[in-house]
Amino acid sequence: MSGSLEGRVTGELRALDQQRLRRALRAPSGIDLSSNDYLGLADHPLVKQQMIVAIEQDGCGSTGSRLLRGQRDAFASIERTFAAFRHADRALYFSSGYLANLAVLTTFPGRRDLIVSDRANHASLRDGARLSKAKHVMFAHNDAGALSRILQSQTGHDEVFVVTESLFSMEGDIPPLHDYAEMCRKAGALLIVDEAHAVGIFGARGSGLVEEHGIGRDVFLTISTAGKALGVAGAFVAGPEWAIEYMIQGARPFVFSTAPPPSLAAAIGASLTIVEKEPDRRADLRAKARRLRARLADAGVAVAAGDSPIVPVILGSAERAQAVAEALQADGFDVRAIRPPTVPAGTARLRISVNVHLSDATIDRFVVVLAAALERSTQCRAVSS
Ligand SMILES: Cc1ncc(COP(=O)(O)O)c(C=O)c1O
């Protein structure tokens, strides 16, 4: 029996090789143009120091689930801080954004409910919808009209949950959140917004795009990861008191998992302080993102306008995306190819992400190197076809 499993698995691995879809674990090397450490906080002295102090005080592991011996003052404190930052009643800290999304979508939508989600939503939201007992339908990416048609046609459900990212992780674009908020208000639907890539970057306080769009009152729950711009790990679900209390009682990824190390909460506290006290950091990031997009456009590389730090360059085939990424890596730039199934077939891409450590000169040099690598890859394709 195990022989046939081995045969099937190795066959699938060979097929991944042939299609240039096999992933390799590659440690960071070269100039960072691929991490989610947009604000440079993962290595910030204050964040590191707070984590070290907390380890000295509280030890390493939390030793149990939050409902057992894993509860710590550090969690209660960071949850209060985060709820205030978000202007939400209450927040709950999870050990990852993936688990937070599973928790939200398996706790609230029930058998008689409907989940409506953007087709480009992150795998954790898709998996959460799959695991939930509710019916699930998807609408075309960022298409308010399509969402509206679904909300009008799908009747007979107790509750309807509309689920979207606020800054899409692989597209770098922003949905029409105002329209969604208004539609949900009119239809009595509950809007859930994953702010994974927006928290720390958008909004006057830096809490995200819900804040920047002024739609906080129309949103049921937000999910904000702490492992991206905040530079640490874990994620917060924020929303009404009753909803958070209910998650504590029954959200399975919260109840049946060891609490994260308490030192993470202390480190996130430092990150939030920096985000609140240093708005120039996110302004600088957005200026760098605008610069990269403008330079790419000047060089004839098609990218969408805007100032989000996620800049995808769509190349089509997995082979081409991988070849261009490898060429950039050889030139000292850590850019990764994003291939199916992470993105739809035929839309393999480079996902370039901007961070505050990049100088203007590095951005300009990178664009020259990228344009040359793209040109070479086009010539290779022309020769081989
Ligand atoms: C939109 C989105 N949601 C959730 C997650 C999961 O967050 P975490 O990495 O903390 O598990 C990610 C991570 O890539 C993401 O991009």
In angstroms, what is the span from residue 126 Cα to ligand 1's centroid?
A: 12
Pair 362, 334: CB distance under 8 Å: no
56 is catalytic: no
Of the candidates 208, 214, 206, 213, the residue with the CA atom closest to the CA atom of residue 277: 206
pLDDT score recorded for residue 382: 60
Q: Rounded CA gap, 231 and 237, in Å?
A: 17
- Which residue CA neighbors atom 5 of ligand 1 most closely? 97
What does each C-alpha distance from 142 to 5, 99, 165, 270, 315 come to in angstroms?
Answer: 40, 24, 10, 34, 21
In angstroms, what is the span from residue 228 Cα to ligand 1's centroid?
A: 8
pLDDT score recorded for residue 384: 55
Q: Rounded CA gap, 177 and 251, in Å?
A: 27
In sequence order, which residues have a C-beta less than 8 Å from that of residue 107 and are 6 or more positions away? 246, 247, 250, 251, 252
- Which residue CA neighbors atom 9 of ligand 1 most closely? 97
In the set 34, 95, 101, 169, the catalytic residue is 169
> Which residues sit with their C-beta closer than 6 Å to ligand 1?
96-98, 101, 122, 124, 165, 169, 194, 196-197, 225, 227, 235
Q: Residue written as tokens 């048609």?
A: 149
Pair 274, 140: CB distance under 8 Å: no
Q: Rounded CA gap, 14 and 30, in Å?
A: 29
- 109: preceding bond cis by omega (within 30 degrees): no
Q: Rounded CA gap, 221 and 86, in Å?
A: 11
Per-residue pLDDT of the chain (385 residues; tens, 9 = 90+): 567 999 999 999 999 999 888 988 999 999 999 999 999 999 999 999 999 999 999 999 999 999 999 999 999 999 999 999 999 999 999 999 999 999 999 999 999 999 999 999 999 999 999 999 999 999 999 999 999 999 999 889 999 999 999 999 999 999 999 999 999 999 999 999 999 999 999 999 999 999 999 999 999 999 999 999 999 999 999 999 999 999 999 999 999 999 999 999 999 999 999 999 999 999 999 999 999 999 999 999 999 889 999 999 999 999 999 999 999 999 999 999 999 999 999 999 999 999 999 999 999 999 999 999 999 988 766 655 5
pLDDT score recorded for residue 3: 76
In sequence order, which residues have a C-beta less than 8 Å from that of residue 202 and are 6 or more positions away? 166, 167, 208, 209, 211, 212, 282
What would the two tokens of residue 372 be?
Answer: 């040359």
In the set 62, 118, 121, 122, the catalytic residue is 122
- Which residue CA neighbors atom 10 of ligand 1 most closely? 97
36 is catalytic: yes
Pair 54, 249: CB distance under 8 Å: no
364 is catalytic: no
Of 105, 163, 169, 174, the one to substitute when testing ligand 1's pocket (max ligand atoms within 8 A of C-beta) is 169
pTM summary value: 0.96
In the set 37, 79, 118, 165, the catalytic residue is 165
In the set 118, 228, 353, 377, the catalytic residue is 228
What does each C-alpha distance from 373 to 15, 33, 167, 221 come to in angstroms?
Answer: 27, 16, 28, 43
**CB-CB neighbours of 148 under 10 Å:** 17
Q: Rounded CA gap, 209 and 188, in Å?
A: 22
What would the two tokens of residue 39 be?
Answer: 């604000």
pLDDT score recorded for residue 2: 62
165 is catalytic: yes
169 is catalytic: yes
pLDDT score recorded for residue 20: 84
122 is catalytic: yes
